[in-house]
Structure 1
Amino acid sequence: MSFTKDATLYALENTAKLWNRRQGLHVDWYEAWHPALTAALAELPPMGGYSPGLFRAIAENQQHAHSRFALVSERNVAVAVVGLREHGFHWELITQWILPGALFPAQPGHELGALAALGLDVGVAWWRMGMLPPAHPWRRDLTVTPTFGTELTGDHEQHWRASGLFKSVRKARNACSDFTFSVNAPGAAAWTIRQWADKWMDESAIMRQEVSDRILVADDLATQGRHFALQLCDGSMPVAGATLFAHGDAAVAGVIYRDPTYDRRGVGTRMIDLSFAWARDAGFAFLDMGGGHAYKEKWAPPWGERRQFRICPPHLNAAKHALHAVRTHIRQGG
Structure 2
Amino acid sequence: MNHSDAMDSAGAKAAGSDFKRALGHLAAPAVISAARIVTPLTSRGVKIAWFDVWNSTLDQALDVLPAIPGCDHDLYRELTQPTSVQKRHALATESGRPTALISLRRRRRYWEPVAYQSLSGVIAPTSSPAGLGRALHALGVEVRVEAGLDKSVVDLKPRSYWSPDNYRVDLQGDYEALWSRNHRKNVRKARQRCDEFMRLRVDDVGDLEWCCTQWSRVWESNDAEETVAAEDRLRFWRAFMKRQTADSPIQFHTLHLLDGDRPTAGTVLMCQDGAVLGQCIVRDPEYDGLWVGVRIMQASIEWAASAAYRQFDLGSGQDYKQSWGQPVAGRYGAIFRPLAVSALYRFGLL
Contact persistence 2:254–2:266 (CA under 8 A):
yes
Question: Which residue of 166, 182, 195 corresponds with 1:164?
Answer: 182
SS in 1 for 2:164: strand
Q: Which residue, out of 306, 323, 332, partners 1:298?
A: 323
1:265 Cα deviation (Å)?
1.5
Quote the residue 2:20 is aligned against. Answer: none
Residue deviations 1:257-304 (CA, integer Å, cap 9, x gap) = 122222222111110110011111223221111111121111111123
Q: Which amino acid is 2:264 matched to?
A: V
1:23-172 alignment runs, 5 A limit = 24-60=45-81, 62-110=82-130, 111-129=132-150, 131-135=151-155, 139-160=158-179, 162=180, 164-172=182-190
Task: Note if 1:3 corresponds to 2:3.
Answer: no
Of 152, 175, 200, the match for 2:193: 175
Cα drift, residue 142 of structure 1: 2.4
User: Where does residue 41 of structure 2 map in the other structure?
Assistant: 17
The structure whose Rg is larger is 2
For residues 260 and 86 of structure 1, what CA distance do their matches in structure 2 show? 30
Distance 1:282 1:59 in 2: 32
**Which TM-score applies when normalising by structure 2?**
0.84
Distance in 2, matches of 1:173 and 1:250, equals 24
Equivalent-residue separation in structure 1 for 2:136 and 2:28 (angstroms):
23
* Secondary structure, counterpart of 1:38 in structure 2: helix
Three-state SS of the structure 1 residue aligned to 2:145 is strand
Deviation at 1:4, TM superposition (A): 6.5
| TM-score with structure 1 setting the length | 0.88
Encode CA deviations 1:186-221: one digit per residue, 9 max, x unaligned.
3101101211221123289x6554111111122122
2:310 pairs, out of 285, 294, 308, with 285
SS in 1 for 2:237: helix
CA-CA distance at 1:6 after TM superposition: 5.3
Mark the CA change 1:163 to 1:97 in structure 2 (over 3 Å): closer, same or farther.
farther
- The amino acid that maps onto 1:80 is A
* Residues 302-333 of structure 1, C-alpha deviations (whole Å, 9 max, x = no match): 123432221112123224434x25x8xxxxxx
1:219 aligns to 2:244 (yes or no): no
1:200 and 1:114 map into 2 onto residues whose CA distance is 32
- How far the C-alpha of 1:48 sits from its partner, in A, is 4.1
Q: What code does the residue aligned with 1:58 have?
A: L
Aligned with 2:340: secondary structure? helix
1:183-202 aligned within 5 A: 183-202=202-221
Q: Which amino acid aligns with 1:36?
A: T
Which range is displaced more, 250-259 or 151-160?
151-160
Work out whether residues 179 and 235 of structure 1, in 8 Å CA contact, stay in contact via their aligned partners in 2: yes
Structural mapping, 1:266-285, within 5 Å:
266-285=291-310
Local SS of the residue matching 2:119? coil
Unaligned runs of 5+ in 2: 1-22, 246-250
RMSD: 2.2
The answer to whether the 8 Å contact 1:48/1:101 transfers is no
How far 1:88 sits from its partner (Å)? 2.4
CA contact (8 A) 1:63 1:209 kept: no
1:255 & 1:80 partners in 2: Cα distance?
A: 28
Q: Percent identity among equivalent residues? A: 27
- Cα distance in 2, alignment partners of residues 7 and 103 from structure 1: 25
Q: Decide whether the 8 Å contact of 1:12 with 1:316 is kept in 2.
A: no
User: 1:263 — aligned with what?
Assistant: 288
